Amino acid sequence: MKIVVNGEHADTRAATLTDLLNELGYADAIVATALNGTMVRAVQRRATALAQGDRVEILAPMQGG
Amino acid sequence: MDAITMKMDPVEFYGTTVGSRLLLGTAQYPSPAILTEAIRASAAEIVTVSLRRESGAAKAGQSFWTLIRELGVKVLPNTAGCKTVKEAVTTAEMARELFGTAWVKLEVIGEDDTLQPDVFGLVEAARILSRDGFQVFPYTTEDLVVAEKLIAAGCEVLMPWGAPIGSGRGLNNPYGLRSMRAHFPGVPLVVDAGVGVPSHAAAAMEMGYDAVLLNTAVAKAGDPARMARAFARAIEAGREAFLADPIDARDMAAPSTPVMGRAMLAE
């Protein structure tokens, strides 16, 4: 299934957002997620199914001013 | 300021008391080690942070977050770069989950050359976030009408700009900032952005501002830790000066040495 992760095209077999995070090596990482512009809380990721063309954002803590 | 004075003169943001009146940004430092040194040298208790797309293998965000947690400082997540209300609100929601704080430095940017706040979007986003339990630190201008609307939207802190972000120009509109201080005597006011050198920060504190938030001036200095220390001292000096009730400027000279008793030596 083709989706977009952090602005880049990706091919995934992940069925849910949790699966995708595992697939990309973020299982233990501290990240926040959004699907198609709407935030998905950590507790909702397992129940959030992915579909063809979805846009996923995976954000991490970063330096800021 | 020594530890004893500091305890007597804390500043409060949304019920949280902090000793240092310097809020420091964490971006643009030459290395994580220099960032750490600068935060320590500044004695800042609040640092601003952000959230960005994590890059695959490097996982730079995870090590940054570990570094910040080890320093034991409070974090103020920002919504830097957001240009719409929706972007800013969603970013704030994600930051709240990620950093575990209801604080947010709310930026809604309206114009690229000046990074000037879109004050209309700012007020709207502040209202939505305040209603949702956020404690909003709005990055705004010195416009009093906007400031009133931010207060009405639920903000208990205001952060007017000194000058455009990263410009180092100092306090572009001292009159406007002074008016704001006079208009909101009970609201914590923080000069945020545009500060270039410690004397700019001292000037803000002498006006009665409660704190100063800066990043580039320290991060891009030749010796960031040393500059952080210089800012810490300037902010303490400015605060002390404000509390000491400075004299008013006057146009004409007034002799400081007593005139009475002066010898008459002229021919």
Instruction: Return the pLDDT at B132.
Output: 98
Residues B10-57 have pLDDT tens digits of 999 999 999 999 999 999 999 999 999 999 999 999 999 999 998 766
Q: Is pLDDT at B261 greater than 60 in this prediction?
A: yes
The answer to whether residue B148 neighbours chain A at the CB level (below 8 Å) is no
- A9 phi and psi, to 5 degrees? -70, 140
The shortest CB-CB distance from A61 to any of B28, B98, B216 is to B98
The shortest CB-CB distance from A64 to any of B48, B93, B97 is to B48
Instruction: Return the pLDDT at B267.
Output: 80
The answer to whether residue A43 neighbours chain B at the CB level (below 8 Å) is no
Q: How far apart are the first and last CA of chain A?
A: 38
C-alpha B118/C-alpha B138 separation (Å) is 11
Nearest C-alpha neighbor of B218 from the set B229, B209, B210: B229
Nearest C-alpha neighbor of B47 from the set B18, B73, B28, B21: B73
The answer to whether residue B14 neighbours chain A at the CB level (below 8 Å) is no
Residues A18 and A46 sit within 8 Å (Cβ to Cβ): yes
The answer to whether residue A12 neighbours chain B at the CB level (below 8 Å) is no
Q: What single DSSP character describes residue B248?
A: P
Residues A60 and A30 sit within 8 Å (Cβ to Cβ): yes
Q: What is the pTM of this model?
A: 0.92
Active site residue B105: yes
Q: Is the Cβ pair B53, A57 closer than 8 Å?
A: yes
Residues A12-42 have pLDDT tens digits of 999 999 999 999 988 888 999 999 999 999 9
Region of residue B161 (left: phi > 0; alpha: psi -120 to 50; beta: else): beta
Q: Is pLDDT at B238 greater than 70 in this prediction?
A: yes
C-alpha B265/C-alpha B267 separation (Å) is 6
- Among B7, B74, B83, B105, the active-site one is B105
Q: Is pLDDT at B67 greater than 80 in this prediction?
A: yes
